[in-house]
Chain A
Amino acid sequence: AQTVTQSQPEMSVQEAETVTLSCTYDTSESDYYLFWYKQPPSRQMILVIRQEAYKQQNATENRFSVNFQKAAKSFSLKISDSQLGDAAMYFCACLDSNYQLIWGAGTKLIIKP
């Protein structure tokens, strides 16, 4: 069975600094997709970034980028120039062959002004 592990229940970063959130996963699929979602206090789940496993190039979306290490099954999220609006729960997820998302437990990100 697929599993997704986020080992950091909580992280904090100074505003304008850079922070990295960790995620590891386990899958037997040869082709799969990985996602980072953000859940602010409103609880709306918002897609941050996605990565196709067959692509070696790391995905980037403005201040958000990933470090995808396929052999190590690691998929970390880097947030540059952190802003107060980045404060949220961040969830890592892996899509299986049945189009089902397997979720990590989440990391709470605190931004210090």
Chain B
Amino acid sequence: DGGITQSPKYLFRKEGQNVTLSCEQNLNHDAMYWYRQDPGQGLRLIYYSQIVNDFQKGDIAEGYSVSREKKESFPLTVTSAQKNPTAFYLCASSPLRLPSTDTQYFGPGTRLTVL
């Protein structure tokens, strides 16, 4: 089946530790995105990438890092510099090619809790 997978579904971290969230897609999409969602709020963009080996900061990139070594994969690392990392993290991808260049499709998300 084609789609976007995120792992793990639930993740716990001690303060001061870095953790990496996985996002993989087999849709052959060019662009990938990471969002953060806090209770009662909409999504906020952390990072996005439109091509392999290139990525741009979103609105709340501080304390996060990403890599895009393969088209299919866009892992997000939450570093110890992120002061309030407990949140729900969503990964998305979009084709950037006709006919649906504009539409983003989402993975199931990862719930990160800092203990």
Binding site for B on A (CB under 8 A): 4, 9, 33, 35, 37, 42-47, 50, 52, 91, 93, 95, 99-101, 103-106
- A33-B102, A45-B92, A105-B40 are known contacts; what are 9 more A-B pairs with Cβ within 8 Å? A43-B108, A45-B90, A45-B106, A50-B103, A93-B42, A99-B31, A99-B50, A101-B33, A104-B42
User: Who on chain B is nearest to A34 by CB?
Assistant: B102
Q: Which of A9, A33, A43 contacts B109 (CB under 8 A)?
A: A43
A106 touches B42 (CB 8 A): yes
Chain B 53-111 residues near chain A, CB threshold 8 A: 58, 88, 90, 92, 94, 96, 101-109
User: Who on chain B is nearest to A47 by CB?
Assistant: B103
Q: Which residues of A sit under 8 angstroms from B44, Cβ to Cβ?
A: 103
The 8 A-B residue pairs with the shortest CB-CB distance in the complex, in nearest-first order: A103-B42, A45-B106, A33-B102, A103-B43, A105-B42, A43-B109, A44-B108, A95-B102
